[in-house]
Amino acid sequence: MRRTQRKEESLGPARKQREVIRDVMLSAGQCATWLTLDELAKLTHYPPASISAQLRHLRKPRFGAFAVVKRIRSVNRAMLAEGFGALWEYSVMPDRRAPVRRERNRRRRAANVRRAVRKVSRRAEEQQH
- The model's pLDDT over 16-63, given as tens digits with 9 standing for 90+, comes to 999 999 999 999 989 989 999 999 999 999 999 999 999 999 999 889
Q: Are 92 and 67 in contact (CB under 8 A)?
A: yes
> pLDDT-based confidence at 101, cuts 50/70/90?
low
More confident residue, 85 or 58: 58
> pLDDT-based confidence at 100, cuts 50/70/90?
low
What are the extents of the domains in the chain? 14-98, 99-129
Quick one: CATH architecture of 14-98?
A: Orthogonal Bundle (1.10)
Cα dihedral across residues 101, 105, 108, 114: positive or negative:
negative
State yes or no: pLDDT of 69 exceeds 80.
yes
What confidence score (pLDDT) does residue 103 get? 56
What confidence score (pLDDT) does residue 38 get? 92
What confidence score (pLDDT) does residue 109 get? 74
In percent, how much of the chain has pLDDT > 90?
Answer: 38
DSSP 22-87: HHHHHHHHHTT--EEHHHHHHHH---HHHHHHHHHHHTSGGGT--EEEEEEEP--HHHHHTT---E
